[in-house]
Amino acid sequence: MQITGIESGIGMSKAFPEMNKVGASSTADGAGKFFSELVSKVNDIQVQSDKSIQGLASGENKNLHEVMIAVEKASISFQFMSQVRNKALEAYQEVMRMQV
């Protein structure tokens, strides 16, 4: 009986063909890119919210409900980003607790 490794074509490489193309560093780069894009989008929403508040204070914008919608959108997006961060940290800590 001959025992072959996973890389021989039996097992993980056929079930997950993208693993052959994507290494661990690429996965880390993808996660880093995801988080940087998420932070960038949340920052853009925060800036738009600040501009709408300034417009309301200066009298340019007379629609209070639009300003409140922008502020709540910024608040919800920030809460979402912080929850994604918390879940990612929990997953990392769980992986680090695993015994090899």
Q: Where are the domains of the chain?
A: 24-97
pLDDT (tens, 9 = 90+) of the chain, 100 residues, equals 566 655 555 554 454 455 455 455 667 788 889 999 999 999 999 999 999 999 999 998 888 999 999 999 999 999 999 999 999 999 999 999 998 7
pLDDT at 25: 61
pLDDT at 62: 82
pLDDT at 56: 93
pLDDT at 24: 54
**pTM of the prediction?**
0.66
Secondary structure in 3-state letters for the chain: CCCCCHHHCCCHHHHCCHHHHCCHHHHHHHHHHHHHHHHHHHHHHHHHHHHHHHHHHHCCCCCHHHHHHHHHHHHHHHHHHHHHHHHHHHHHHHHHHCCC
